[in-house]
Amino acid sequence: MPVTSVRYLASQPWPFPRSLMLGFSARAGGTDIAIDGVEIVEARWFSVDELEAELAAGRISLPMPVSIAYRIIDSWRRGALPAPD
């Protein structure tokens, strides 16, 4: 998917397998998601309300709170994620 207005947010060392996780925000250039079936096996778009409903119903879960992925999603949920330029 093409993206624009990419903005670096943070990074986090990840011990296995000796990786560095990078967090960015960006504007999506469309709504079609390419799933490769290996690295990405499922992907969906959510509004904040849809995400909250899925979490409350137990149909999805968020990453661990210590992860950068959780912090980015949580910032977005609270409306505190800096908007891309």
Domains of the chain by residue range: 3-77
CA distance 35 to 6: 21
| Residues 6 or more apart whose Cβ sits within 8 Å of residue 14 | 20, 21
**Residue 7: is its pLDDT beyond 90?**
yes
Q: How confident is the model at residue 85 (pLDDT cuts 50, 70, 90)?
A: confident
User: How much is the pLDDT for 24?
Assistant: 94
Mean pLDDT of 46-50: 96
What is the chain's Cα-based Rg? 14
| Beta-ladder partners of 24 | 8
Q: For position 5, what pLDDT does the model report?
A: 93
Euclidean distance between CA atoms 74 and 67, whole angstroms: 11
pTM of the predicted model, to two decimals?
Answer: 0.82
Q: Average the pLDDT over 44-52 and give the result.
A: 96
